[in-house]
Amino acid sequence: QVQLEESGGGVVQPGRSLKLSCVASGFIFSAYDMHWVRQAPGKGLEWVAVTSNDGNIQHYGDSVKGRLTISRDNSDNTLFLHMSSLRADDTATYFCARGRRGDWLILENWGQGTLVTVSS
């Protein structure tokens, strides 16, 4: 079955960088668009970014443009989120999610998330 497992979260100082990973299994990774969605503690969901199945197209939420970069390695079934110039308001659980084939913004499957805490 579809499995998505995020890793790479932790405590990081403001202004530093962090790279999250999401390893996919149970489906043909290279056939699906992939997303990152985040959720600050006790808050709602915020869509962060999407990459097309071939990695050629990316789109970002307004609050993360220029600081967060989504990428993927289809040979390794892995999705990444490179986070730079981190701020306190980037503190959140980061979920990776699979888009539906043919309708990429429908988030059909989700990982369990990895927590990023930005604090000095």
Determine the interface stretch with another protein among 14-22, 23-31, 70-78, 107-115 (rule: CB under 8 A). Answer: 107-115
Tell me the closest approach of the beta carbon of residue 101 to another protein, in angstroms.
Answer: 13
114 in Cβ contact with 8 (< 8 Å): yes
Query: How far apart, in whole angstroms, are the C-alpha atoms of residue 53 and residue 62?
Result: 22
Asked if 17 and 84 count as a contact pair (C-beta separation under 8 A), the reply is yes
CA separation, residue 51 to residues 14, 59, 98 (Å): 26, 7, 10
Residue 112 interacts with another protein (CB under 8 A): yes or no: yes
Count of residues interacting with another protein (CB under 8 A): 21
**Residue 58 C-beta: closest distance to another protein, Å:** 10
| For another protein, the closer CB: 57 or 75 | 57
> Applying CB under 8 A, does 105 fall inside the site for another protein?
yes
